[in-house]
Amino acid sequence: MPSHGGTRVAKPRGAILVPALVVAVVVAVGISLWSRGDLNGLICDGDCGPANVVPPRSLTTSTEPADLASGAPSPGDVDRAKLEAAVGPTLRASVLGPRIGFSAVSPSDGTELMSAGSGPYVPASTTKVLTGFAALSLIDPQTRFATRVVRSGDEVVLVGGGDPYLAVERTKKDDPVVRADLRTLAARAAEALERDGTSRVSVGFDASLFAGPAESPGWEPTYVSQNIVTPVSALWADQGVQDGVRAGEPAAAAARTFAKLLADRGITVTGEPAPAEAPQGASTLAVVRSATVARIVETLMRISDNQAAEVMLRQAAIAAGKPATFDGGAEAVTEVLDSADVSTEGLRLNDGSGLSRRNRITPLTLAQAVNVAASTARTSALVTDLPVSGFTGTLVDRFSRLTSSLGMVRAKTGTLTGVHSLAGYALDAGGRPVVFAVMADRTSKVAPFEAQAALDKVAAAIADCNCG
């Protein structure tokens, strides 16, 4: 041991113990903050996304109900009286107004454990639960939608395939739901034209996959004019948004962008892009393909994407052999629910997003749809797509004061002025999953955040209840 003047030199114990203690405290605090979701904004810039959330095992789904939460209490062990005692008082919050409905069902057999209120309610964005369920039921989840460029003589036609996330160009940050873009499509088309010795074309666009109207009669007449929604189209780029402004004719806007990108690649484009019908048997110059249906539904559910929901409503209609319209989509959804033995009593749909205040859904319909979705491999992803309380999607900034329920609830939100709803499932204090839907459509309009918090307390009451 080195020494100075015969005196032994030793490191003071605190030099080791203090840093170790500080590290231990920092780690413990970090784990606590992470588990509560308080670090989401720092680490993930908000929503950490489902890939970064590891929920309790029983807050996941299985295609074999017997394996759901192996070793945990059976879902059938939920005591109705205890559930009612826990949830009942939260439903009486004055800020929720005079019309509030609730339904809870058992995952094991779908029987209703508790209900409150009567009749259907304005669902807002919980409508997307039904849209997503129908889309996954009717369309192979691995399906990808193609956006094509075909050629007929000296005209090339941009053909929309109903990709809700077609972009002008891919960003540097890899977004798993944005898989196709006009820049790539134009580059491929230009290369094909150059190989054929063609350097001069006109551009047409075909968005005929979807039929009209492009705006739901159930929407407020100002939704489009006030830049709230883009008219629904089988062809658009960046959902028709450029510099924060939504295009009134998104297919034409996409075609103009495509024409410019062709010109950037050395192809002379004559005239302005015009509506056209892709000729039968026209040769395909280039194709780009969307993300999978499974990925599209995951994203639209997590972030509550109104535009993507309307596109997927039409895709579901096409898959069901219906007209690709609002009405055709509503018929397709209703038929899927009926075939799954989900109650459709009082159901009325004017769109797939829930923007329409004319929509009506009962809490039982929503709860049963979530429960049935979890029971089959094809649709079970819908349940794991639901936002997680305090961690992902539209629940990332909610439940912050309901710490015992953080990460214990997966639910789709629904919000319009005076309307708040949640549909999903929660784990009670004993680990028993309870599928539920709660809806209030006459809440205080001057206290929307208080109403939202009161609704969260309904779900938190399930998480806090030892209902066995």
Task: Note the pLDDT of residue 281.
Answer: 83
**Check: CATH 3.40.710.10 for 52-139+297-464?**
yes
**What percent of the chain clears pLDDT 70, i.e. is strictly above it?**
84
β-strand partners of 268: 200
- Residue 3's pLDDT is 39
- pLDDT for 379-431, tens place per residue? 999 999 999 999 999 999 999 999 999 999 999 999 999 999 999 999 999 99
Q: What is the pLDDT of residues 250-263, one digit of tens each?
A: 999 999 999 999 99
At residue 218, the pLDDT reads 96
**Residue pLDDT, tens place only, 29-72:** 444 444 444 444 433 434 544 444 444 444 444 333 233 333 44
Mean of the pLDDT values across residues 77-84?
A: 94
- pLDDT computed for residue 52 by the predictor: 44
Span between the terminal Cα atoms of the chain, in Å: 64
* In the predicted structure, residue 447 carries a pLDDT above the cut 90: yes
pLDDT for res 145: 98
Question: In 3D, which of 86, 145, 117, 81 has the Cα closest to residue 294?
Answer: 145
Q: What pLDDT shows up at residue 377? A: 93
Digit-coded pLDDT (tens) for 372-384: 999 999 999 999 9
Question: In angstroms, how far apart are the furthest CA atoms of the chain?
Answer: 99
**Cβ 260 vs Cβ 234: under 8 Å:** no
pLDDT tens, 364-373? 999 999 999 9
Is the pLDDT at 15 greater than 70? The verdict is no
Kindly indicate the confidence band of residue 5, based on its pLDDT and cuts at 50, 70 and 90.
Answer: very low
Higher pLDDT, 51 or 147: 147
SS (H, E, C) the chain: CCEECCEECCCCHHHHHHHHHHHHHHHHHHHHHHHHCCCHHHHHCCCCCHHHCCCCHHHCCCCCHHHCCCCCCCHHHCCHHHHHHHHHHHHHCHHHCCCEEEEEECCCCCCEEEEECCCCECCHHHHHHHHHHHHHHHCCCCCEEEEEEEEECCEEEEECCCCCCCECCCCCCCCCCCCCEHHHHHHHHHHHHHHCCCCEEEEEEECCCCCCCCCCCCCCCHHHHCCCCCCCCCCCCHHHEECCEECCCHHHHHHHHHHHHHHHCCCEEEEEEEECCCCCCCEEEEEEEEEEHHHHHHHHHHHCCHHHHHHHHHHHHHHCCCCCCHHHHHHHHHHHHHHCCCCCCCCECCCCCCCCCCCEECHHHHHHHHHHHCCCCCCCHHHHCCCECCCCHHHCCCCCCCHHHCCCEEEEEEEECCEEEEEEEEECCCCCEEEEEEEECCCCCCCHHHHHHHHHHHHHHHHHCCCC
Quote the pLDDT of residue 109: 87
- Nearby residues of 466 by Cβ (< 8 Å), 6 or more positions away: 82, 428, 429, 430
Quick one: fold of 144-292? Answer: D-tyrosyl-trna(Tyr) Deacylase; Chain: A; (3.50.80)
Look at 63 and 100; give whichever has higher pLDDT: 100
Q: What is the pLDDT of residues 302-336, one digit of tens each?
A: 999 999 999 999 999 999 999 999 999 999 999 99
Beta-carbon contacts of residue 335 (< 8 Å; ≥ 6 apart): 320
Alpha carbon distance 79, 84 (integer Å): 9
- The predicted pLDDT at position 252 comes to 98
**pLDDT tops 80 at residue 249:** yes
The predicted-structure confidence for 261-292, as pLDDT tens digits, reads as follows 999 999 999 999 999 999 888 999 999 999 99
Q: For residue 93, how far is the Cα from the chain centroid?
A: 28
In this prediction, residue 212 carries a pLDDT of 86
Specify the pLDDT at position 77: 79
Question: What phi-psi label fits residue 422: left (phi over 0), alpha (psi between -120 and 50 degrees) or beta?
Answer: beta
Mean pLDDT in residue range 184-196: 97
Confidence (pLDDT) at 174: 78
Share of the chain above pLDDT 90, in %: 79
Domain boundaries, the chain: 52-139+297-464, 144-292
Indicate the average pLDDT of the chain: 87
